[in-house]
Amino acid sequence: MTENKGDSTNASAAKNDLQGLELAEHHFGPLLHPTCGTQSAWTNYSINRLQTNQKYRTVVSAPGKGSEDGPRADESGEAWLFVNAKSCVSQIEKEMSLEHGALQKCITIVHNEMLLDADEDSDPRSADLTARIYSPTAPMYIDVHFQYYLRSRVSSAQWFYSLGFKIHRRPSAMAGDASVIKKELRKAHPPDVHTRNGWQNLCWGYYDDSCGHKVWRPVERGKVELHQESVLDIHEALFGELEKPADTDSEAMLAYRRSLVRGIRLLLAAVGVSYNIACTDDEHDDPPRNLTLEGLHDTWVGRRIRNVCGIRLDRDAEDEQTGVYLRRDQARSEDNDFEDDEDNSDYDF
């Protein structure tokens, strides 16, 4: 549970005292170069954020400690998201030269259901997480939902995940509600979870068990469903409109594209997913170590995210082809030959 019943902030009284941007600055400032939204938009944003933070916990809030012997099992799962989200977002704050906590305070954990492995690493086995990122720049917010499942057995594994988002450009003056968000999502496996009520897929993946192999093989399916327009929408909602520099200014263009990548990484970070995405040839993709976003040894999620943000590294074409060969090799078996002309239009591979 992430519901926070101990906050005594009186949002109704705050509404009567201040309005618009002044209300937002008073409770959540300093904002980052706030845009000129209407007074009603900033007032609704502020009340929504105040009341949601009363009901749930922000990332900077510490979850319950449990007994003197340590946190209970359910609290350990709850703590995982807070610890990992704080770590991921803190790194992004440093990259942006922001004060510590400037972005962390913008993230509220609305739903936090997780089962951890019993071993010392305590990696997630299953998760159903929802975080709300309040823009530090505009009267908007983005909801992020992450569904995850992994079970490893002696001769097989079951794995799937789906990560999606919804941009709210006109917040109402009401608190967020986890049950309402849950009803907006489809009760389905990827890629169908985030496909209605304004939700969009960011990325998803799973092992396909429908290939008819007598011996189980990790046949991976997956896709990054971002496109250029959605990447720009995410950045604008979080940090404001980003002016594109001239193509001849390579340094400014790289900074522009890094900013777009960083906006996507913040969505991942809000649900505890750390993914450092290479933006130059001397950098390397560093996927999460305690979660599986890519079923095989190919960092296709990071590659596709930077590609849609306009970055194409020298090694990307070769790495992509290597990934194709790897997946084809896994899909082949003595009893089921892989067909090169198979229609995979619904997948990235």
Least trusted range by pLDDT, from 4-18, 149-163, 233-247, 268-282: 4-18
Residues in the chain: 349
Which letter, b or e, does each residue of 205-226 get, where b requires 16 or more Cβ atoms within 10 Å of its Cβ?
bbbeeeeebeeebebbbbbbbb
Q: Looking at residue 218, what is its pLDDT?
A: 77
Give me the residues paired with residue 78 across strands.
none
Q: Is 315 left (phi over 0), alpha (psi -120 to 50) or beta?
A: alpha
Q: How high is the mean pLDDT of the chain?
A: 87
Angle between helices 300-308 and 316-331 (to 10 degrees): 140
Which has more confidence, 294 or 7?
Answer: 294
Angle between helices 250-270 and 73-95 (to 10 degrees): 170
Q: What is the pLDDT of residues 177-201, one digit of tens each?
A: 999 999 999 999 999 999 999 999 9
Q: Looking at residue 9, what is its pLDDT?
A: 47
Give me the mean pLDDT over the 227-241 stretch: 97
Contact 245, 265 (CB under 8 A): no
- Strand-strand pairing, 107-116 and 220-224: unpaired
Contact 103, 89 (CB under 8 A): yes
Q: Looking at residue 17, what is its pLDDT?
A: 78
Q: What is the pLDDT of residues 108-151, one digit of tens each?
A: 999 999 999 877 567 899 999 999 999 999 999 999 999 999 98
Q: Give me 308's structure tokens.
A: 């849609």
Least trusted range by pLDDT, from 104-108, 149-153, 224-228: 149-153
Is the peptide bond prior to 136 cis by the omega test (within 30 degrees of 0)? no
Best CA proximity match to 202, nearest among 186, 184, 226, 238: 226
How sure is the predictor about 340, in pLDDT bands with cuts at 50, 70 and 90? very low
Q: What is the pLDDT of residues 281-335, one digit of tens each?
A: 999 999 998 999 998 889 999 999 999 999 999 999 999 999 988 888 877 754 4
Q: Looking at residue 154, what is its pLDDT?
A: 66
Q: Looking at residue 219, what is its pLDDT?
A: 85
Would you tell me how many other CB atoms lie within 10 Å of the CB of residue 47? Answer: 22
Q: Residue 274: is its pLDDT beyond 60?
A: yes
Best CA proximity match to 53, nearest among 112, 10, 102: 10
Q: Looking at residue 210, what is its pLDDT?
A: 67
Contact 59, 104 (CB under 8 A): yes
CA distance 83 to 33: 28
Q: Show Cβ contacts of residue 231 under 8 Å, excluding neighbours closer than 6 positions.
A: 260, 263, 264, 308, 309
How sure is the predictor about 249, in pLDDT bands with cuts at 50, 70 and 90? very high
Give me the mean pLDDT over the 246-275 stretch: 97
Q: Looking at residue 66, what is its pLDDT?
A: 38
Q: What share of the chain is helix, strand, coil (3-state, %, to 5)?
A: 35, 20, 45
CA distance 176 to 190: 25
- What DSSP element (H or E) covers 257? helix 250-270
Which has more confidence, 201 or 336?
Answer: 201
Best CA proximity match to 162, nearest among 104, 222, 114: 222
Q: Looking at residue 347, what is its pLDDT?
A: 58
Best CA proximity match to 222, nearest among 277, 161, 164: 161
Q: Looking at residue 69, what is its pLDDT?
A: 38
Q: Residue 71: is its pLDDT beyond 50?
A: no
C-alpha 225, offset from chain centre: 13
Domain locations along the chain = 11-331
